[in-house]
């Protein structure tokens, strides 16, 4: 069965998911914040800024109007940067259909409140929408999804029936969706893996090898799981697609924005200069600050997160960060 779907956010990931859904025969409206880019995308059938080289299916309607994208759509897919979720969602709430399902494919934490995005949406949406919230996460580079390379992801939902419906809407021969009832765990894993990916990039930029990277991924996953469980998530989630799967991809894949940013820092560049020259968002930069604050709030040891925070916000030398991690008090695993 085909659906009318509004995709809110035309970055690389939002555009790739819009193409996926349109390819399944769904009627897709893709919202882009920048009016000039939305008009250009509608005219050229290409998102040349965020996902160049791919032709949009004719069935995708590009727009800069939230009302057009949301009104009369039973399915809304939100794919905006995490720090803009509250602002954008507040703007589209008035246009929501009464029985709409809202799916979030953003990864991150709200910096001021330290809320996962599920809590942000609950804070904004009327209560009747809360059980119809879903969260898409897992190892998935936008370009590879657009190229129809086999991909498996996780979908967290509060209502199993809603999760099953969304699973069927997205899944095809190249994109396999697994349901998961652990909304919080899936969200925390998806947010924190970006912080560890920055650390992975730093190590790569410094010229370290496989031993170092394996240690980082293993201990980084342990930190993610410690915080996630302390906040109420399921430990098993962190060994699945949303946890280990996404961590491995983001820490080792050359298409990772967070890993790329970390690599440049490892080679001696400064964060401010990198951010000024980038059009895309490396979510791990903001998440590093929120994750550090959460670690302090829950009294959880997260030494990797702490060092990434100091690299990004206090200008710490990467060599000193590695030294401090390696010289911590010895303990059991």
**CA-CA distance, 39 to 63, in Å (whole number)?**
7
**CA-CA distance, 210 to 302, in Å (whole number)?**
22
Q: Which of 73, 107, 165, 193 does the annotation list as catalytic?
A: 193
What is the sign, positive or negative, of the torsion defined by CA atoms of 147, 150, 155, 161? positive
What is the gyration radius of the CA atoms in the chain, in angstroms?
19
Of the candidates 231, 234, 230, 204, which has an alpha carbon nearest to the alpha carbon of residue 217? Answer: 204
Contact (Cβ atoms closer than 8 angstroms) between residue 127 and residue 116: no
What is the H or E stretch that residue 297 is in?
helix 284-297
Burial class (CB in 10 A: 0-12, 13-18, 19+), 98: exposed
**CA-CA distance, 186 to 152, in Å (whole number)?**
14
Q: Is 193 a catalytic residue?
A: yes
Contact (Cβ atoms closer than 8 angstroms) between residue 132 and residue 113: no
CA distances from 307 to 286, 292, 315 (A): 14, 10, 10
Order of strands across the sheet that contains 75-78: 60-63, 27-31, 4-8, 75-78, 101-104, 133-137, 151-157, 175-180
**CA-CA distance, 148 to 15, in Å (whole number)?**
13
In the structure encoding, which two tokens stand for residue 268, read together?
Answer: 């001696």
**CA-CA distance, 147 to 150, in Å (whole number)?**
9
**CA-CA distance, 84 to 92, in Å (whole number)?**
12
Report the 10 Å Cβ neighbour count for 44. 12
Which residues does the annotation mark as catalytic? 193
């Amino acid at each position: 069965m085909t659906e009318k779907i509004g995709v809110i956010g035309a970055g690389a990931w939002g555009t790739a998911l819009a193409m996926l859904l349109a390819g399944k025969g769904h009627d897709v409206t893709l919202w882009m914040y920048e009016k000039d880019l939305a008009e250009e995308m509608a005219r050229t059938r290409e998102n040349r800024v965020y996902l160049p080289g791919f032709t949009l299916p004719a069935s995708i309607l590009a727009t800069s109007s939230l009302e057009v994208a949301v009104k009369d759509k039973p399915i809304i897919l939100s794919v905006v940067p995490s720090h803009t979720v509250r602002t954008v969602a507040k703007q589209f709430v008035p246009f929501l259909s009464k029985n709409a399902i809202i799916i979030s494919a953003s990864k991150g934490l709200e910096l001021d409140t330290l809320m996962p995005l599920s809590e942000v949406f609950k804070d904004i949406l009327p209560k009747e929408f809360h059980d119809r919230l879903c969260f898409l996460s897992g190892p998935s580079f936008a370009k590879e999804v657009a190229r129809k390379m086999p991909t498996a992801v996780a979908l967290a939902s509060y209502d199993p029936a809603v999760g099953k419906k969304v699973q069927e809407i997205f899944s095809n021969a190249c994109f396999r969706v697994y349901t998961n009832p652990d909304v919080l765990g899936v969200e925390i894993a998806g947010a924190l893996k970006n912080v560890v990916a920055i650390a992975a990039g730093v190590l790569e930029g410094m010229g370290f090898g496989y031993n170092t990277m394996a240690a980082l991924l293993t201990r980084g996953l342990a930190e993610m799981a410690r915080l996630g469980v302390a906040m109420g998530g399921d430990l098993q989630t962190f060994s699945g697609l949303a946890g280990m799967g996404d961590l491995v991809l983001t820490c080792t894949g050359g298409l990772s924005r967070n890993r790329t940013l970390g690599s440049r820092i490892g080679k001696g560049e400064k964060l401010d200069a990198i951010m000024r020259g980038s059009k895309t968002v490396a979510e791990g930069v903001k998440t590093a600050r929120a994750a550090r604050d959460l670690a302090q709030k829950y009294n959880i040891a997260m030494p990797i997160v702490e060092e990434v925070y100091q690299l990004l916000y206090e200008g710490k030398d990467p060599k000193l960060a590695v030294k401090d991690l390696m010289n911590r008090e010895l303990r059991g695993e």
